[in-house]
Amino acid sequence: MIVVVGLGNPGRKYAKTKHNVGFMVVDALVRKYNFSEFRNKYDYFIAEGRVENHDIVMIKPATYMNLSGNVVKKVINKTIINSLPDSLIVIHDDMDLPIGKIKIKKNGSSGGHKGVQSIIDSLGTNNFIRVKIGIGKDLFQDGSDYVLSPFTKEQQAVIKEKISQAADAIIVIINEGVDKAMTIYNRN
């Protein structure tokens, strides 16, 4: 079993904000591969399906970004997974990458991302795969205000394409391995 977690904040207020690209990628995967509809499990939403020979669980935490680790630990404890890092893929925004840049990592620090840090703290390891989507930054705007703001029209065109590419990257990770996905997607 592979667990794919899209990070974001629940609710309509945050649905189209930069901080929710993780949710957007998971939603794209669920649609593209005909997964079950998301079901509410109190503090997270879950959709299940298969890609090739792999059972996959898609998760959207409903605890807000900074408490994502609690949900991830709960799901990992309930789910029969193989071994980390290959069985946990976390998708999140990254202000240090230009808008739409995709970067895949096997492990490492949180890079200041509070959702990723929450997962590291809850699991007691940084040994999981991350798919980062660049959202850029605005030097004249506070970081927390920026990530909670919607994409501009120009950014929407770029990010829509990159969400689809990130969904494809996750399928490459699942079917061909993280090294192959890094070779393909970390260059563009």
**Cα separation, 54 vs 70, whole angstroms:** 25
Residue type, 1: M
Residues β-bridged to residue 34: none
19 catalytic per annotation: yes
**Cα separation, 68 vs 59, whole angstroms:** 10
Name the residue with tokens 């939403």.
Answer: 45
**Cα separation, 22 vs 131, whole angstroms:** 9
Query: Where would I find the beta strands (DSSP E) of 2-150?
Result: 2-6, 39-40, 44-51, 54-61, 88-94, 102-105, 129-134
Is residue 91 helix, strand or coil? strand
Query: Where would I find the beta strands (DSSP E) of the chain?
Result: 2-6, 39-40, 44-51, 54-61, 88-94, 102-105, 129-134
Annotated catalytic residues are 19
